[in-house]
Amino acid sequence: MRQSLQASYVLHSRPYRNTSKLLDIFSREQGRRVLVARGARQGNSRLQGQLLPFIPLLLSWQGQGEVQTLTAAETGTLLTPLKGRKVLTAFYLNELLLRLLARDDPHPALYDAYAQTLQRLSGSSDRASDEEAGLRLFECFLLQELGYGLVLDHEVSSGGVLQAQQLYCYQPERGPWVIESKQDCENGLLVHGSTLLALQQGDLYAADAHTEHHNLMLREAKMLIRINLARHLGAKPLQSRELYIQQKQLLKS
Amino acid sequence: MSFSPLISQLIEVLCCLPGVGPKSAQRMAFHLLQRDREGAKRMATTLLEAVERIGHCSQCRSLSEQSLCKLCASSRRDRSLLCVVESPIDVQAVLQAADYKGMFFVLMGHLSPLDGIGPIDIGLDKLAARLDEGEIREVILATNPTAEGEATAHYIAEIIESRAGIRATRIAHGVPVGGELEFVNSSTLSRAFNARTEV
């Protein structure tokens, strides 16, 4: 089968044989796939400097079986290159996709969300809260695309609409329950209705400088998504998260 | 065609070298056996000795049979400058190309969360300890311009930032000297553009 000029991102690449690369790609129409890029590590290769992660590419490939052969690569519209901390964040996105997406399972909407998240990352905003909001929305969308979406539109005991001011207890297998006070939350996570509504509407970005309320919302969203993701990630910890933890020990306070 | 067991074994072993496939391994094996048995013996003993004795320099982690490699032991190098590279070959590349008089630190790889390679695997605990010794004033981050290399450079830069009085610099990326803009790939060109300098 021959595929030409498919919009794709490289999620991960590793050296293969003497001069080739094995690429794990995420293509808009074809989903996750493994390609071999022959000779891509040779100094005179046209592909050198092109098959990098986080850059929109147009890839062509052909072949049969599980691993197919890359025949051509073009760089799509270029973004400002990701810098510094943002590269590590982007690796986190890739790790999530590699861990959770099955091969040959197309998710065009998820692809678009991934592209948009990267674009926001490479954008001018340096606010940590914007970066975090973008990550949460992507994770939330990823869960939804995989069929494990969070319950964000109704309360599960009565089926009623969520209220921004109400306190809820979120149980991963079931969804949000109305509770009267913080002490009532057993085997679940305490969240405010406003956090759930913000996730549903895709609006976690702060309008102006951080407020106490916005920080609380981000914290709640983080925990909520983390416990939901953890159920699908299995026991192996996410390496890109480990990096942050290990760095703390190397920093001098 | 089948060879005697020992010859096949020799061919198979030679295949472990980069760029050597079964055909070239076969040529090498026959050359050694037919024409240069002396050379083969020397090669075998040297190989054995090298594998047994060569370890890592205790300071820069580069390959060396002494506990302190030649560069680290030298008294003529500038101890306030430290260049961080990914592999021992990069040390040679920098020495040959640049007029660099400082010290080195070899990571023996790069951070790669997707392959499970973390900071301890590339010796960042040792690097942090070395920064704390207080001799170093500037760290030149010369990791490869790949996504992983970038991530590694930034990760180290943050470790450096948390220590007062040390400057972290990154080598520049851009258009190769003698090249033509038309043929430079767009990601390199966009970087070169973003990091343009005053003439």
**Tally of domains within chain B:** 2
**Tally of domains within chain A:** 2
Domain limits at B140? 63-198
Measured CA to CA, the distance from residue B155 to residue A230 in angstroms comes to 25
Q: Which of A61, A60, A54 is closest to A12 using CA atoms?
A: A54
DSSP notation for A176-232: EEEESSGGG--SSEEEEHHHHHHHHHT--S-SSS--HHHHHHHHHHHHHHHHHHHHH
Q: Is residue A100 part of a domain?
A: no
A237 touches chain B (CB under 8 A): no
Q: Is residue A108 part of a domain?
A: no
Same domain for A142 and A215 = yes
Q: Is residue A88 part of a domain?
A: no
Q: Reduce the DSSP state of residue A56 to 3 states and report it.
A: coil
Q: Is residue B180 part of a domain?
A: yes
Measured CA to CA, the distance from residue A58 to residue A77 in angstroms comes to 10
**Interface predicted TM-score (ipTM):** 0.82
Same domain for B42 and B77 = no
Domain limits at A224? 127-252
CB contact under 8 A, A239 and B114: yes
Q: Per DSSP, what are the bridge partners of residue B55?
A: B64
pLDDT one-digit tens code per residue, A87-146: 889 999 999 999 999 999 999 999 999 999 999 888 767 777 888 899 999 999 999 999
Residue with tokens 């590269």: A87
Residue B121's pLDDT is 93
B29 touches chain A (CB under 8 A): no
Give the pLDDT mean for B126-143.
Answer: 94
Q: Which of A119, A123, A144, A129 is closest to A200 using CA atoms?
A: A144
Residue with tokens 């030679």: B14
- Smallest Cβ–Cβ distance between A246 and the set B119, B163, B190 belongs to B119
| Cα-only R_g, chain B | 22
Q: How many CB atoms lie within 10 A of CB B77?
A: 15
Spell out which residues of chain B touch residue A50, defining contact as CB-CB under 8 Å.
185, 187
**Taking a contact as any Cβ pair under 8 Å apart, which residues of chain B between 173 and 192 contact chain A?**
185-188, 190-191
Q: Is residue B112 part of a domain?
A: yes
Same domain for A204 and A134 = yes
Same domain for B104 and B49 = no
B118 touches chain A (CB under 8 A): yes
CB contact under 8 A, B158 and A85: yes
Same domain for A238 and A149 = yes
Q: Which of A57, A51, A54, A53 is closest to A38 using CA atoms?
A: A51
Q: Is residue B142 part of a domain?
A: yes
CB contact under 8 A, B188 and A94: no
B154 touches chain A (CB under 8 A): yes
Residue A115's pLDDT is 94
pLDDT one-digit tens code per residue, A51-103: 889 989 999 999 988 899 999 998 887 667 787 788 889 999 999 999 999 99
Q: Residues with Cβ < 8 Å from A194, sequence gap 6 or more? A: A164, A165, A213, A217
Q: Is residue B30 part of a domain?
A: yes
Residue A41's pLDDT is 85
